[in-house]
Amino acid sequence: MSALPQPPVGPPGIWSFPQPKPSQLSNGIELRTYQLPGQQVVSAHLVLDVPLNAEPRDLEGVATMCTRTLDEGTLTHSGEEFPELLETEGAGFGVEVTLAGLQAVLDVPVSHLERALELFAEAVTEPALADDDVNRHVQLRLAEIEQAAANSAQTASTVFRGTVFAADGRAARMNGGEPETVARITPESVRDFYRRHVGPAGATLILAGDFTEDPTERAERAFGGWVNPDQQRIAYRPPAPGPTRALVVDRPGAVQADVRLGGLGIDRRDPRWPAITVASYAMGGAFLSRLNAVLREDLGYTYGVRMNFSPMRDSGFFAVQGSFRTEVVVDAVRRARELIDTSAQPFTDAEVTDAVAYFTGVSPLSYATADGVAGQAGLQTLLGLSDDYVDRNLALLRNVTPESAAEAYASLVRPHDLTLVVVGDAAAVAEPLRGLGFDNLDVVTR
């Protein structure tokens, strides 16, 4: 049997991120509606302009406790009744807490949107914030912190962020609060935080899905009557950098160590962002990127190592990160520092082409669902980015060259002026790391 001829395959067309229909509710809430044909599950994001620096310093974590308790019952429906009502509508409720602000999230079949949107609004506008629920979430958060502290990878990430940023800034501490501040949170403090900061002023409601009719009236019925005369809006405070340091968090007898090597980065509004996205992918974002090819594939030091640039609303940070066997961790740090120095081995055309192809190819998949579109729209709102940000960024990515990638990379990555955090056996690694030039290395216990 002869094979059938294959049809010709042409190049893909240029994809664009969906654009919203903007409007405003009667109480000032901005509404962004994304009409997405075929998306029968609607995603709703209520973006609240409440940065974490609005929290009192001694009660950090209160914003997280407040948002996590929103769906634990309302003034109209009890804590047992409310989740059953959501479940009846096939709806899921979630929250997202970032330094830049808060989000409440609803996912529901479009056929159940009317009632589910009412319940969504009820959770946000009239939560019970009952004593038992708040106290339970405080205990859950304390257990969560304890569990994270037992994980060396999470410890490395937490300590690294607390080292890269100035110690007196909110960015240096966990979004969900530290043990000593979470333990102070009371139901009264949660209700006070809600009263002072959660309200319609500065809020944006994002709706994404296949709507058979304009959902503006539904949104107005659900949220248009929400008022909070006591609401106070607090401006976002950009993070300040901390001093360059080297730390070993001691885990006596540990057979592996978690490493973070990096420093201060940039945000998405920086003109270098497209170029550094490409450069960091070539260095440590792909399976056969430079770091992984040597430290994993050639030497077998790790299951995986990567370089991540993590942008924030303003500024950001980056890190080479991975887990290594204790006996090779010092050599891994030495080689990583050599590999991230591109002065003798600039980025190539092939590396840039592969990185651009990845990012332009993955975007349509990332935003193929209503949840993906609404999530990106919520992020853009919190970060002050325009509705056409994704398209503009992709266009700039396509124009990145090896030269522009190298220029952006060299301006941010200075291999011998980086913060180092290692979570591992200090007796085995501290002195050899000092021998690599980390003369200011300190050993700490947690």
Per-residue CA distances from 272 to 237, 347, 356, 374, 429 (Å)? 22, 16, 15, 26, 36
Instruction: Please write the tens of the pLDDT for every residue from 389-444.
Output: 999 999 999 999 999 999 999 999 999 999 999 999 999 999 999 999 999 999 99
**In percent, how much of the chain has pLDDT > 90?**
96
Q: Which two tokens stand for residue 72?
A: 């634990």
Judge contact between 64 and 140, C-beta under 8 A.
no
Burial class (CB in 10 A: 0-12, 13-18, 19+), 116: buried
Q: Which pLDDT value is given to residue 13?
A: 74
Instruction: Please write the tens of the pLDDT for every residue from 35-51.
Output: 999 999 999 999 999 99
- Per-residue pLDDT, averaged over 363-377, amounts to 97
Question: Hey, what amino acid is at 217?
Answer: E
**Spatial separation of the C-alpha atoms in residues 133 and 68, rounded to whole Å:** 9
Judge contact between 337 and 416, C-beta under 8 A.
yes
Q: What is the mean pLDDT of the chain?
A: 96
**Residue 147 pLDDT level (bands cut at 50, 70, 90):** very high
Burial class (CB in 10 A: 0-12, 13-18, 19+), 221: middle
Give ranges for CATH 3.30.830.10 in the chain: 21-223, 246-444
Judge contact between 426 and 250, C-beta under 8 A.
yes
Instruction: Please write the tens of the pLDDT for every residue from 69-101.
Output: 999 999 999 999 999 999 999 999 999 999 999
Q: Which pLDDT value is given to residue 11?
A: 74
Q: Which pLDDT value is given to residue 182?
A: 98
- Those residues with Cβ within 8 angstroms of residue 305's Cβ, 6 or more apart along the chain or in another chain: 284, 291, 292, 295, 296, 320, 321, 322, 332, 336
Instruction: Please write the tens of the pLDDT for every residue from 287-305.
Output: 999 999 999 999 999 999 9
- Per-residue pLDDT, averaged over 265-285, amounts to 98
Could you give phi then psi for residue 106, rounded to 5 degrees?
A: -130, 135
Q: How many residues does the chain have?
A: 446
Instruction: Please write the tens of the pLDDT for every residue from 163-182.
Output: 999 999 999 999 999 999 99
**Residue 383 pLDDT level (bands cut at 50, 70, 90):** very high
**Residue 1 pLDDT level (bands cut at 50, 70, 90):** low
Q: Which pLDDT value is given to residue 15?
A: 92
**Spatial separation of the C-alpha atoms in residues 78 and 76, rounded to whole Å:** 7
21: pLDDT strictly greater than 90: yes
Residue owning tokens 């006591």: 230
10: pLDDT strictly greater than 90: no
**Residue 9 pLDDT level (bands cut at 50, 70, 90):** confident
Please, which residues bridge with residue 312 across strands? none
Count CA atoms within 13 Å of residue 174 on its CB side: 24
**Spatial separation of the C-alpha atoms in residues 81 and 341, rounded to whole Å:** 59
Q: Which of 313, 318, 314 is nearest to 380 (CA)?
A: 313
Q: Please, what CATH class does the domain formed by 21-223 belong to?
A: alpha beta
Q: Which pLDDT value is given to residue 242?
A: 96
Q: Which pLDDT value is given to residue 8?
A: 84
**Residue 348 pLDDT level (bands cut at 50, 70, 90):** very high
236: pLDDT strictly greater than 90: yes
Q: Which pLDDT value is given to residue 434?
A: 97
Q: Please, what CATH class does the domain formed by 246-444 belong to?
A: alpha beta
Count CA atoms within 13 Å of residue 129 on its CB side: 22
- Per-residue pLDDT, averaged over 210-239, amounts to 97
- Those residues with Cβ within 8 angstroms of residue 345's Cβ, 6 or more apart along the chain or in another chain: none
3: pLDDT strictly greater than 80: no
Q: Which of 150, 134, 146 is nearest to 184 (CA)?
A: 134
